[in-house]
Amino acid sequence: MIKLKTVKETIHQLEEVRKKGKSVGFVPTMGALHEGHLSLIREAKNENDFVVSSIFINPIQFNNKNDLVNYPKDLNKDIDLLLSADTDLLFLPTEEEMYPEPVTEVFDFGGLDEVLEGKFRPGHFKGVAIVVKRLFEIIKPDKAYFGLKDYQQLLIIHRITKNYHLPVEIIPCPTIREDDGLAMSSRNQLLSKQERKQAILLYEVLKMVKIQSGFSSINEVKTHVDRLFRKTKDVKLEYFEIVDMYTLEPLKAWAQSKNVIACVAAWVGNVRLIDNIILFS
């Protein structure tokens, strides 16, 4: 695996790859890798000749400084995992390399950034859009791979690739879960043993909602969800919404959309987790 730290070296290396007619797949990450990331790498390997991953903890997408400070880091383990997945190139930029000048970009997300995560994490998606756009401009991948767990992020990335006519195909990949159903996340490493047991509530609630969808009213479902979270110690619901999959508009009745997803965010102790489940499409 080639490891590069500068934009210049990375651009040059990938120019040489393309001269050989090879297709490039890309999996951007913030490190603290797990099986979810590796599943993206494997999918990229299946569909491309050359696979690039990046590790960069993007400071401008953290609206909470403590979250940035506490974000898990284990570069040696990450490198071993990328090697095990047969990654071809790892891009490891510094903050100065990614942001040599002040950030001035302005984005129009069409309101996608004003609900769900955007409502509780102001500025988060601007930071995501800036770093993803820059990474795409450096790597110039044919395809880029993202997990469905961060569903709202996926819609934002689709929008910027369309708005800026970036020649990259965005490939959504299934959420990878632990044996008990908890969505794999780098933040899971920060949970205590007791908190880890309680965190399963997010997926249990989503499974219940999937069963009830179309039968109980949306108001009844949301009331039931709120009641379940109130019963569980150390798990605090931040939001639960049933929304249209493409506009993220909250629904009041099932008949409002044929493409519906349930999204949840909750604090388990001091760790914030998100998850979702497609109800029907």
List residues with catalytic annotation. 37
The total of other beta-carbon atoms located within 10 Å of residue 270's CB is 13
Asked whether 55 and 92 are in contact (CB, 8 A), the reply is yes
167 by Cβ neighbours in 10 Å (0-12 / 13-18 / 19+) ranks as exposed
Return the beta strands (E) in the chain as ranges. Answer: 2-4, 24-29, 50-55, 89-91, 143-147, 169-173, 235-244, 260-268, 271-280
Nearest CA-CA partner of 161 in 28, 13, 14, 19: 28
SS3 40: helix
Maximum distance among all Cα pairs of the chain, rounded to whole angstroms: 60
d(CA 111, CA 281): 22
Q: How far apart are CA 15 and CA 236, in angstroms?
A: 48
Query: 3-state class of 197 per DSSP?
Result: helix
